[in-house]
Chain A
């Protein structure tokens, strides 16, 4: 088909191609991924799921594969999160940096290592879970990822294992004066009755057109508790496609917080399948696009079995000519009686040019459920603003107080105190009017950090 872009589908795919022995997938999985890739169109606005997210300004560039660059400990430390003591893996441009990472490799406890290494060292586990969530058939980008991704992070929690520290995966992008692409493929397995907190952060080291295509599979086994956080702060010319597929078994608890501060175009897909009963799913997001940025959160919770709860709270503060999408879908199967599902999306548009497309959606086929959904979009309350100014508080400070209050409930849900604190500082800096082109998540000023 004719795409209104400069680059053809085949040419685009070719940028991501790697030798067979470098790629994570092999055999049937790889074959299938290539088949899906052949069938799927490069997303365009005529596809329902991409109606409000145009890729034109991404696909018009001539990309090449991102290359390795070394990174010093000092450079990484500039992006460290105050007070976060975590096992960490560091990647740059899709490459793993062992000297900056803490590899764990205990099959009876915790495994944290790059995927290509897990594929060799823990082959049985790798084969048991890799690409078993059905992620590859989801869309063009996940198929591309399944076909050619060569690395990413592997996190495995053995049954009954509780991690004493969070696990922090840090991704850096650096186009090195070129326009580059990179892929990451992550696999997280939380064994029965295990418990852990995981954080992924995304940074740019320079201002270049970069494109990251990520796919993450998460298996939350019986009675496991997994808390998953994403903080996105790549440069203003960085695009990211981030697909997360979660499969939850009975009595498990999965909570997630996605905070998107910066990037040219960020598309987050989150699909959760509740594959048992007495499951809790708590999904939260905050997005704050500025300038001409576009952030899209597409969330889908599938209640396939009875007696499960899910909760979604997504909030957006949209500035300047930025735009955002919240597409939330809750599907309750006929058998999923006693489902309790809530979904709420709230937005504040700071200018008359800012845009939000919000579509909360409930699809219910069971008859004994309690479901709610809602969406609101407003501006800063002018009455409140005048009241505060009449007490001597200037407009920017008044706006900051109002917006801080607006986002406070979603921030409160962040479970790791250091992350909560970090996100609050980033929000304050943003609301104070600090604008950064590349290093969005770097904290210059942090009075309480030492």
Chain B
């Protein structure tokens, strides 16, 4: 039986006094891919930000257990080192900091957390090279400053590259498909698929079914008005694509 990765219980979160998440319950096991779908404003991005440790949200109720630890007590950097990875919907430009230096700092702190010796410069560069090839990212990209002047596609590829470097237990993909053309989407999805294995899990947040053609989910949840209102197999995604979200709204409100 596969192990539990994350358990979210009755999670409530608000921003500036406005409640966005109104009691989320969700459990992901090792080896599983869960898709979170839902209309705009349903709380999808809030859920990913809260799990990554964004402190602009206030957690008013609930519990999140990750790896047997109380996730909500950890700083964002501790969550990352424990194995949470958020692929940002809008990756941030960091002027003047090269991807190499950025990843070097991250890998160093991840290894320190695990009680491992730092990598030698040669080992580090070898790791970079391997992961770049794995996720098919242009070699020149990593010599540039983090996301500075990157196209939408390059930014998303860079997220997948970082994911490959850090090898998280749970990767949260926040609308990774937004702003991607079909070729970029395929490369990004291929990268994700190569990183899938029986020990990690994925939470794929998306508005459209399109991405799920490439990253096939085990479970699909529909988030609406801060709650998961429907859960099903991958066929649920097709149903949503066909019928839109209105029937869900009617079901919930009607």
Contacts and interface: CB of A to CB of B under 8 A. Distances in A.
Contacts of A406: 95-96
Contact of B106 (A386, A393, A405, A408): A393
Contacts of B193: none
Contact of A392 (B80, B95, B96, B145): B80
17 contacts: A384-B92, A384-B93, A384-B94, A386-B54, A388-B105, A390-B53, A390-B80, A392-B77, A393-B77, A395-B75, A401-B97, A402-B94, A405-B94, A405-B95, A405-B145, A408-B96, A409-B96
Given A394-B109, A401-B97, A389 B92 contact: no
A386 B91 CA distance: 11
Given A386-B76, A387-B92, A406-B96, A393 B54 contact: no
Q: State the main secondary structure of chain A at its contact with B.
A: helix
Given A392-B77, A394-B109, A387 B97 contact: no
A387 B91 contact: yes
Q: How big is chain A's contact interface, by range? A: 20 to 34
Interface of A: 381, 383-384, 386-395, 397-398, 401-402, 404-406, 408-409
A383 B92 contact: yes
Interface string B109-148: 1100100000000000000000000000000000001000
Of listed A386, A392, A394, A409, residue having the most chain B CB within 10 A: A392
Contacts, number: 77
B101 A391 contact: no
Interface string B72-86: 000111011100011
A79 to B, nearest CB: 29
A388 B75 CA distance: 12
A388 B94 contact: yes
A338 to B, nearest CB: 33
Nearest to B82: A392
Contacts of A390: 52-53, 76-77, 79-80, 85-86, 88
Interface residues of B, number: 30
Given A387-B91, A391-B80, A391-B166, A402 B53 contact: no
Nearest to A383: B92
A406 B145 CA distance: 12
B88 A401 contact: no
Interface of B: 52-54, 75-77, 79-81, 85-86, 88, 91-97, 101-103, 105-106, 109-110, 113, 145, 162, 166
Nearest to B107: A392
A401 B91 CA distance: 17
Contact of A397 (B86, B105, B113): B105
Contacts of A394: 75, 77, 109
Contacts of B53: 389-390
Contacts of B91: 387
A389 B79 CA distance: 9
A80 to B, nearest CB: 28
A389 B54 CA distance: 10
B80 A389 contact: yes
A376 to B, nearest CB: 12
B73 to A, nearest CB: 15
Nearest to B86: A390
A401 B102 CA distance: 8
Contacts of A383: 92
A388 B96 contact: no
A365 B20 CA distance: 59
Given A387-B88, A390-B52, A392-B109, A402 B97 contact: yes
Nearest to B148: A405
Contact of B105 (A387, A401, A405, A408): A401
Nearest to B110: A392
Contacts of A405: 94-97, 145
A383 B89 CA distance: 13
Closest 10 CB pairs of A and B: A405-B96, A392-B80, A387-B92, A389-B76, A391-B106, A389-B77, A392-B81, A405-B97, A392-B106, A384-B94
Contacts of A381: 92, 94
A391 B162 CA distance: 8
Of listed A384, A389, A409, residue having the most chain B CB within 10 A: A389
Nearest to B91: A387
Given A387-B88, A388-B106, 8 more contacts: A387-B91, A387-B94, A389-B77, A390-B76, A390-B86, A392-B80, A395-B77, A405-B96
A386 B103 CA distance: 15
Of listed A387, A391, A395, A402, residue having the most chain B CB within 10 A: A391
B208 to A, nearest CB: 24
Contacts of B113: 392
Contacts of A397: 105, 109
